[in-house]
Structure 1
């Protein structure tokens, strides 16, 4: 059974919710409080699963209290209780699992309980989200099922992509990047609305806690988000640290780069990052080709060199290395075909001939 506490300064509201929860038979009500500070002290000493919090309380409002709970134990699910529907967006912005309008009905409460159970089942099965930046942008549930998650609009998707990319950001940076030229207050409303839509889409799979929001900062729970970009950059750093090059590290990073960073999305803020990542990818391919050539694995070296040409077909130095490898393998016809291809490309694209050292190979 789920262990819960109720925090509300209205005695009648506490009694009503207590009665409905007791009747459902799925909740163990550990304690009830009319004071947030007393509830906070209780949770310090006692493990709970769910906290039902009234938003409007005199000593400390429920939204402030929920932030303290999240800092103490991020596994606690928060359900707000309110008499005003206007708090809905704010509730989701502050990582609440759900919100209930007073007077609470058993039918509506059952939906909340179903959401809690569904989330906890998914959390057990899935470590969180799987986010892919290479060759576009895709969000899926992690684990065996891997269900794709679609967001409400292209702008909602761009906001989520930016938050995941940054790891942690703030509202001012988001406004400057995604809503430049907008009235600041209007831009903030757009941010809050889109955060609500993101959390709503994630809540279907019990993953809304993968995104964290505070008064100023917005970020992701990195421990619950698997991301190809993060792993690629980790492997790049690991590769650069090792004085003895590990081909396995390079191969893993190369495999992750399935296409350009946010390819096809047209996000201006992503352009410089895309160029830098492509440069890193090309360096990995060159390094891998050099390693395989030196360790007498010419076919693997050729495969990496051809991958470079898929991105930059005019690289004379790469064509030259391919030609030398073919000649070393005794494949003179393939070497000449490679030269003729280079000659044609340079003439059509730049109106020039291959460098003298390459031409001399066939004179």
Structure 2
């Protein structure tokens, strides 16, 4: 295993190197030691390296920030943080979830760390997933990803921290766009001083890179001075597939109806429904409105084609998703009037009155009340339009 050490303390470097070389059964080759983090970064990126030991408290460049810069270029690089913090400080830094050792470096701790990394390196070829097939990823209801070696099988991504998960999903929502580091800090660590908030951010990005490592180049997080850009390749998002279909097929027709039906199956729940992120609400509402528009168009097409049972099911679905949508109740009232089913007409009007009163303290729109009164009085009002 080829190892590089980076620490601004020369004595600490030599001590760690000696401890590593004591593990003579592990075939460890220390190919470089650096006190300058910028020089270390240059050499690590230029050379064939398996493992890097990084001191957290490097001058000019935070060790965690350096780590995520390295992982941007070398996602499979194994990084071990070396810290002078006591255990409580490591936990507060959220580093308990990544590889770290505490100074003074103990040989037994180094041995356990290297054994774990050796196993990880040995299994790496099996962990790298196939890259010759697009995989699918869901954002309706919750974020899940298809396993490339198990087509059709979806799994949750496993996150070290909830903040790492939220940052990834936020980057995913803004994929292809620059997300400023300051915006992420304001969103997740508003109470922190900047000198404490940035290490938290770098740690979270580090977690994200490690979580995405098995997916190889499908997810690329680019680190700029101002922020991060997430680009995806070979990943089909359900929300993109869903929206692109309806943008390409804006009207319902005999030719498009089957495609509409299949695409609507992708809408398994609202956008990020299982995640209570305030910043997702705008996109959630936009997609809900698109779903409603498509559903109403499909229901009206079914009525025009005299496929009444399918129209009724469509309106029921609208009522479940958008219980305040008057058009669904009114359309059902007119359908049941045509079918000479007065009980269902009364029921739909009653349901509409109840939900509007409970949720908004309002009554149905005047045109609906007028239609209902005329129908109740026996006036012919069966025009579906």
- TM-score higher than 0.5: yes
Q: Contact 2:172 / 2:230 at 8 angstroms: preserved in 1?
A: yes
Q: Contact 1:79 / 1:100 at 8 angstroms: preserved in 2?
A: no
Q: Contact 1:134 / 1:263 at 8 angstroms: preserved in 2?
A: yes
Q: Contact 2:52 / 2:77 at 8 angstroms: preserved in 1?
A: no
Q: Contact 1:323 / 1:335 at 8 angstroms: preserved in 2?
A: yes
Worse overlay, 83-92 or 298-307: 83-92
Deviation at 1:328, TM superposition (A): 3.3
Q: Contact 1:63 / 1:91 at 8 angstroms: preserved in 2?
A: no
Q: How does 1:149-164 map to 2 (within 5 A)?
A: 149-164=157-172
Q: For structure 1, which runs of at least 5 residues remain unmatched after alignment?
A: 14-19, 24-51, 70-77
Q: For structure 2, which runs of at least 5 residues remain unmatched after alignment?
A: 6-16, 18-23, 57-62, 81-109, 378-385
Deviation at 1:314, TM superposition (A): 3.4
Distance of 1:283 and 1:116 partners within structure 2: 47
State the partner residue of 1:359: 373
SS at match of 1:212: strand
SS at match of 1:263: coil
Q: Structure 1 length normalisation: TM-score?
A: 0.68
State the partner residue of 2:275: 265
Q: Structure 1's 297 and 167: CA in aligned 2 closer, same or farther, altered over 3 A? A: same
Greater share of helix: 1
Q: Contact 1:139 / 1:150 at 8 angstroms: preserved in 2?
A: no
Q: Structure 1's 224 and 119: CA in aligned 2 closer, same or farther, altered over 3 A? A: farther
Distance of 1:218 and 1:247 partners within structure 2: 40
Deviation at 1:164, TM superposition (A): 0.8
Distance of 1:310 and 1:294 partners within structure 2: 23
Deviation at 1:356, TM superposition (A): 0.8
SS at match of 1:123: coil
Q: Structure 1's 315 and 192: CA in aligned 2 closer, same or farther, altered over 3 A? A: same
Residue 219 of structure 1, aligned match among 200, 225, 229: 229
Distance of 2:186 and 2:246 partners within structure 1: 30
Distance of 2:306 and 2:358 partners within structure 1: 35
Distance of 2:332 and 2:124 partners within structure 1: 58
Deviation at 1:153, TM superposition (A): 2.1
Q: Contact 2:145 / 2:156 at 8 angstroms: preserved in 1?
A: yes
